[in-house]
Homo-oligomer: A and B are copies of this chain.
């Protein structure tokens, strides 16, 4: 019976080799089978994640755990830029779209002007 309880410990308590307490701060967001906890543990450490979750109202903890897992996975995949790499990509994408829009404006401005000119004849 004790073994069954131990097997059901959350990923964080499993990692810390402790019994998962009933009010465990990690359990609702990092269940035993959570594939992301390893990333979160390696990047932030259990203690820092616990502090962040504890500082938040319960209804915000799920989103915080998800964003921490996302950032941790990004940092493991790209230890230099982490999540900031996505921001750079999105900013480059926005800059490219801005250049495209400017080019399209220059390209289509003339036909629109000559169309107006044509109407006024």
A interface with B by C-beta (< 8 Å) = 42-45, 47-48, 52, 55-56, 60, 63-64, 67-68, 70-71, 75, 79-87, 90-91, 93-94, 97, 101, 108, 111-112, 114-115, 118-119
Contacts and interface: CB of A to CB of B under 8 A. Distances in A.
A82 B68 contact: yes
Nearest to A75: B52
Contacts of A82: 67-68, 71, 83
A50 to B, nearest CB: 12
A77 B79 CA distance: 22
Copies of chain A in the complex: 2
A88 to B, nearest CB: 9
Contact of A63 (B71, B80, B90, B97): B80
A79 B101 contact: no
Shortest beta-carbon contacts, A-B, top 3:
A115-B115, A90-B90, A67-B84
Nearest to A52: B79
A92 to B, nearest CB: 11
Given A56-B80, A112-B108, A94 B97 contact: yes
